[in-house]
Amino acid sequence: MLDSDHATLTPLPLLRIIDSTPVLVAYIDAQERYQFNNKTYEEWFGKSRTSLTGKHLKTLLGTKTYQIVRPYVRAALKGNKVTYESTVPYKEDETRDIQGVYIPDIAPSGKVRGFISVVRDITEQKRVEHVLQFLTEASRVLASSLDYKTTLRRVAHLAVPKIADWCVVTIAEPNSPNEQLALAHVDPKKLKLARELQRRYPSDPKQKRGIHQVMRTGKSEVLNDIPDQLLVAAAHDAHHLKLIRQLALKSYMIVPLKGTRRSLGAITFISAESGRKYGKQDLLMAEELASHAALAIENARLYTSATQALQDRETFLSIASHELKTPITSMKVYAQILGKLLRGNPDPKISQYLRKINDQVDKQTKLIEDLLNISKIQVGKFKFEVKEFDLWQLIVETVEALQATTDHRIVIQGKPAGKIKGDKDRIGQVIINLLTNAIKYSPDAQEIIVAVSATPRQATVAVRDFGIGIAKKNLKNIFNRFYQVGNSQQKTYPGLGIGLYVSAEIIERHHGRIWVTSRQGKGSTFSFSLPRPTAKKPIKHRRK
C-alpha cells in the first residue's frame, strides 16, 4: 500500500508540494548561488523563479539582508546545520521576522556541495509573542505599586514601540477636566510636535469619534486604516493638516478604562512609522490591558481613600481624646480637693467613695488613651522614645503602684535582668496591662506572680494568675485587636479588649516576643521577652 502511494507521489507532485508550502525553500551551492527556488520566492520577491537560478544570494537579498544572513551561510557551508531568527527588510519600507534553517548538503567525500535553505515568515507569531510579553509585563507593572499614575506612565512607555508608535493615557478625575497622564513615542522630536499640536489645536469634547466619545460611551474604537480624508475632516486649518500629515498616522485604537460606576479614562494606541494595522486581535489585547489598568486605578483610589479615612479618624480621636480629658481633669482635681478637705472625717465611707471616683477617672483616662493608641498603631504613628533602663526597677515600681489598688498579693520572683533598651513608659504600659488583666480575670484568687529571668541574649517577664484561664480555641486570637474571651452577648468583663493588642504591638516593635500559656479554670501566664542590649540579633517573632 505504502509503496504504491509513494509511487504516485513522485516525482512531479513532490515539487508541487514544495511549491505550495508558504515557506521559502531553496538550494544554494557552495558559491552561494541559487540552484533551486520554490514558488513562494516569486510572491516574496516579485520575480520569476527561473530568473533566480544561478544568481548570487547578495544579488537577490540585497546588501542589508545579506549582511544579516552571511554568518549563517558560512556556517552551513562549513557543514553545520544552522537555525536562526532575525528581522529583515521587506519590500519598500517594511520589515519581517523570519526563522531560517540551513541544512548542509554533504557529498560522500565529505565535501560540502551546498545547503538547503528553509525560511519561514514568523512576523505574525512574533507579534503575538510581543503582545503577550507586553501584556504580562504591563500587568506586572500595574500590580507593582499603588501609585497608579506612575504605573500607567510606565505602561505607556512599555507599549512603544512594541505595540504602538504612540500611546496616550487619559484619566478622568472626578470634578476636574481630563488629565493626559502619558504621551509616549520613541522619538523626542515627534513628541515635541505632538505636544505642540495638542496645545494649539485642543480636541473638541463634543466630537462624535475619538477619545471623548470612547469615554462617554465606554465603547472601544478601532480604525484599521486612517484615510487621508479623515485627517482633512479633523484638521482645524491647512497648517494643522500639514502637521498631522507629518505624523504619518496609519491606524489607531482607543479603549475605555471602565470603572465599576463610571468611566476612568481611556488608552489610545496609534501606529505610524511601523505601518502596523490594528485589527480585532489587537483590540482584544488592548481591552484586556485596559481592564487590568482600570482595576489598578480603582484599587489605588480605594486604598488612598481608606488610608485617608484612617488618618482622619486618628486626627479626630486625637482631638476627641484631648476634649474628653479636659472635664476629667477638672473632675479629678475636685475629687482630690474633696479628699483633702474631708480628710479625718469619721465616716469611712467618704474616703472610700472618693477613692472610687478617683479610680473611675483613672480608668476612663486609660480607655481614652487605649483608643488613641490603637488608632495611632493603624496609621503608623505609634512613637517610641528609646533609652536604656533597668527592667527590674520598672517592674518593682509598677507592682508597687498597682498593689495599692488591689486586694491580690503581687509577688515578684527572680532577680534583676540588667538594662534593657526601649521605651520605658510603653514597656511599663505592657506590664500594667498584663497585671490588670491578671487581676481582672482571677477574681477569686489571692496571688499573682511576676517572674523575671534572663539569659545573656534576652530578659523574660512572666505574669501568672490563678484565675479563669483561657480555652484552647481562644488562645490564638488573644493578641488580636478587639478580641475578648467570650462573645459580645455574654461579655462580663469591662474594657475595649485592645490592651493585649497594644501590648503585643509594643513588644514586637521592640523586637521582642509575647506569648501566653493557659489552662481553663487554672489560670494563665502571659510572658514577654526583650532582647538585651548585648544581644546582636533580634528574637524571631512568633505571633501571627
Partner 1 sequence: MYMPKKILVIDDDMDILEALKELLEIFGYAVVATPRAEAALQTVEKYQPDVLLLDVLLSGNDGRVITQELRQHKSTRQLPIILISAHPSAAQSAYASGADEFVAKPFDMDTLLGTIEKHLTNNTSKKKTR
Among 303, 334, 482, 493, binds partner 1 (CB under 8 A): 334
Closest separation in Å from C-beta 341 to partner 1? 7
Among 29, 137, 288, 369, binds partner 1 (CB under 8 A): 369
Does 333 contact partner 1 by CB under 8 A? yes
480: cell is 488580636
Among 40, 321, 398, 524, binds partner 1 (CB under 8 A): 321
Q: Is 473 exposed, middle or buried (0-12, 13-18, 19+ CB in 10 A)?
A: exposed
Residues 160-189 that bind partner 1 (CB under 8 A): none
279: cell is 485589527
Stretch that binds partner 1, among 196-204, 277-285, 297-305, 330-338 (CB under 8 A): 330-338
Q: Which residues contact 486 (CB under 8 A, 6 or more apart)?
A: 492, 493
The DSSP-derived string for 451-472 is EEEE-SSEEEEEEEE-SS---H
216: cell is 462617554
Distance CA 467, CA 447 (A): 10
Indicate the pairing of strand 409-414 with strand 447-454.
parallel
Distance CA 237, CA 451 (A): 89
Contact 61, 96 (CB under 8 A): no
Stretch that binds partner 1, among 37-45, 260-268, 323-331, 504-512 (CB under 8 A): 323-331
Does 356 contact partner 1 by CB under 8 A? no
295: cell is 482595576
Is the Cβ of residue 320 or residue 451 nearer to partner 1 in the bound state?
A: 320
Closest separation in Å from C-beta 356 to partner 1? 16
Q: Which residues contact 118 (CB under 8 A, 6 or more apart)?
A: 23, 24, 25, 100, 101, 102, 103
Contact 152, 293 (CB under 8 A): yes
Does 322 contact partner 1 by CB under 8 A? yes
The CA-based angle 176-180-183, given to 5 degrees, is 175
Among 12, 238, 341, 404, binds partner 1 (CB under 8 A): 341
Closest separation in Å from C-beta 384 to partner 1? 10
Does 325 contact partner 1 by CB under 8 A? yes
Closest separation in Å from C-beta 286 to partner 1? 52
Among 250, 332, 424, 513, binds partner 1 (CB under 8 A): 332
Residues 408-447 that bind partner 1 (CB under 8 A): 425
Binding mask 222-261 for partner 1 (x = CB under 8 A): ----------------------------------------
Residues 370-399 that bind partner 1 (CB under 8 A): 383, 385
Is the Cβ of residue 423 or residue 447 nearer to partner 1 in the bound state?
A: 423
| 3-state class (DSSP) for residue 263 | strand
Neighbours of 322 (CB within 10 A): 11
Closest separation in Å from C-beta 247 to partner 1? 59
Q: Which residues contact 193 (CB under 8 A, 6 or more apart)?
A: 243, 246, 247
Stretch that binds partner 1, among 262-270, 316-324, 431-439, 490-498 (CB under 8 A): 316-324
Does 365 contact partner 1 by CB under 8 A? yes
Contact 525, 464 (CB under 8 A): yes
Name the site residues for partner 1 (rule: CB under 8 A).
Answer: 318, 321-322, 325-334, 336-337, 339-341, 361, 365, 369, 383, 385, 425
